[in-house]
Amino acid sequence: HCKLDDVLVISLLCWQVELKITTQLRFYYFLQNNIFPKSSLPERSRFNRICNNAFCFLQWIRIGILKQHSNNPKYTIIDSLPLPLCQPIRNKRCKVLTDYADIGYNATKKQYYYGLKGSFEVGSDGHIWAYTLSKASKHDIKMVEDLLRQYRCQYILADQGYLSNELKKKLEKEGIWFWTPSRKNMKEKKQENSKFLKKKRKYIETVFSKLVNLFD
């Protein structure tokens, strides 16, 4: 019945990220063999429950740090990141997290995958101001309001996956300028700063790359 202080639990979770240990089981054995004396660490399943309960506090800490120590970004960028749970060849056989995951399409790699989709709102300062998880098949447009409930910026950049006149007009009424590049077959006039905005929007790909490298 060993108990861990809340601050210690949160510190351990942050340390796990710094050590780039992507599985909690391996991290638990690392602590058991190298850090904590025998019988001073809770049993593995109980340690797992304690860490899961601490995740909500980590979210509040993250939001608090952003609000208190970061200036509001000039603009934010919205995009989605595919989170596959198996190799494409196993899409129809995989049964992991069936209540939360399904088969979706990865437009970048031009292939279907089984898993989840992460939608992120990244600021011009490089910080992640909002994010949400959904099934892989859920359209990107449907996740915009979920992100804006967490953080609302006056200027938002997105890619062609978020093209929607209805969404654009709705956000315009709410005082939000929502920009997406137009398709080649669209008759709309090209904006003079479209190349500049496209270049700025691609910054979110750098953030995604860091997340993939950090969390496998």
Number of domains the chain is built from = 2
Cβ–Cβ < 8 Å for 78, 156: yes
Please indicate, yes or no, if residue 47 is contained in any of the structural domains. Answer: yes
Asked if residue 41 is part of any domain, the answer here is yes
The answer to whether residues 125 and 210 belong to one domain is yes
Strands 111-123, 76-84: pairing kind: antiparallel
Same domain for 197 and 130: yes
Residue 101 lies inside a defined structural domain of this protein? no
Q: Are residues 124 and 195 in the same domain?
A: yes
**Residue 129 shares a structural domain with residue 47:** no
Residue 89, in any domain of the structure: no
Q: Which residue has the tokens 């909500």?
A: 56
pLDDT of residue 193: 66
Structural domain includes residue 111: no
**62 lies in the same domain as 128:** no
Residue 127 and residue 48 share a domain: no
For 20-34, 137-151, 174-188, which range has the lowest pLDDT when averaged over its residues? 174-188
Q: Are 77 and 156 in contact (CB under 8 A)?
A: yes
Q: Is position 180 within any domain?
A: yes
Q: What's the alpha-carbon Rg for the chain, to the nearest Å?
A: 20
- Is 44 part of a structural domain of the chain? yes
Based on the fold, state whether residues 60 and 133 are members of the same structural domain: no
Tens of pLDDT, residues 28-85:
999 999 988 877 888 889 999 998 888 888 888 888 888 787 788 889 999 999 999 9
Q: Pairing state of beta strands 102-106 and 128-135?
A: unpaired
Within a domain: residue 98? no
What range defines the domain where residue 171 resides? 76-82+120-215
Kindly state whether residues 204 and 132 are assigned to the same domain.
yes
pLDDT, residue 202, reads 81
**Over the stretch 160-202, which tens digit does the pLDDT of each residue have?**
888 888 999 999 999 999 988 876 655 555 555 677 787 888 8
